[in-house]
Amino acid sequence: MLHLITTRQNASDAHLRAMYEARKRVFVDLLKWDVPVLADRYELDQFDDEHAQYLILADTDGGHLASARLLPTTRAHLLDSLFPGLCPLEVPRGGNIFEISRFCLDRRLCARERRQARDMLITALVDHALVAGITGYTGVADMGWFQQILSFGWHCDPLGVPVPYPCGLLVALRIHITADTPELLRRAAIIEPCGAAQERDRHAG
């Protein structure tokens, strides 16, 4: 089931807790990112505030499968606050542009499950954008992830040349969302989740 959480919930929200735990397992335990950890269990940073939105894919028991954070570019976000050097020109901003960050696939999934969860989350990002009037997503990616993002079939452009960081080569990117984006995903063999729109739960804080 796909859950759209439009604002940050309190710590009793099971889906948010599961997402923060999964982020810690991926970004801290696996990738060794130097980011804040709460109670040695949850990965949160300064952008996990009341303005953040989350797409969370959960199993029937509420367990985390995949998730992504969406930040409004009209406020401080990763690209303009932490990685402005990746964008030699102006950082894209606007009410219809959101930044994707913390794209997280649960470590407990096998390869086939990870691919399915990834494809469902990609499709959900496009579905949500079309419903919400979002015309573009920005983001920061290492070169390996950037190559994957390009392979999804949608219109995606780098916003500058790759820049070396301690964690590797990073690139800023912009994804253009249009009415034909779902068809582009299908052509690239990205699986569209059946009935995702009907199963989406909307929460407000």
Q: What is the DSSP string of 106-175?
A: -TTS-HHHHHHHHHHHHHHHHHHHHHHT--EEEEEEEHHHHHHHHHT-SEEEESS--EEETTEEEEEEEE
Greater confidence (70 vs 194) lies with: 70
CATH superfamily for 2-203 is: Gcn5-related N-acetyltransferase (GNAT) (3.40.630.30)
In sequence order, the β-bridge partners of residue 69 are 54, 101
Burial of residue 160 (CB within 10 Å: 0-12, 13-18, 19+) is: middle
pLDDT bracket for residue 199 (50, 70, 90): very low
Average pLDDT over residues 178-194: 85
Alpha-carbon distances, residue 54 vs 27, 78, 94, 161, 175 (angstroms) = 17, 15, 19, 29, 18
What pLDDT shows up at residue 195? 41
Question: What one-character DSSP code corresponds to residue 86?
Answer: G
Greater confidence (14 vs 162) lies with: 162
Rounded Cα distance, 65 and 108, in Å: 8
Residue 63 has pLDDT above 60, yes or no: yes
Rounded Cα distance, 111 and 66, in Å: 13
Helix then strand count (H, E) for the chain reads 6, 11
Residue 67 has pLDDT above 90, yes or no: yes
Rounded Cα distance, 42 and 56, in Å: 16
Q: Which helix (H) or strand (E) holds 65?
A: strand 64-72
Burial of residue 180 (CB within 10 Å: 0-12, 13-18, 19+) is: exposed
Predicted structure pTM score: 0.89
| Percent of the chain's residues with pLDDT above 90 | 76
In the chain, what are the domain boundaries? 2-203
pLDDT tens per residue, range 6-42:
665 544 488 899 999 999 999 999 999 989 999 999 9
Whether residue 55 contacts residue 68, with contact meaning beta carbons closer than 8 Å, is answered with yes
Average pLDDT over residues 136-162: 96
Average pLDDT over residues 121-137: 96
CA 85 remoteness from chain centre: 21
Whether residue 174 contacts residue 136, with contact meaning beta carbons closer than 8 Å, is answered with yes
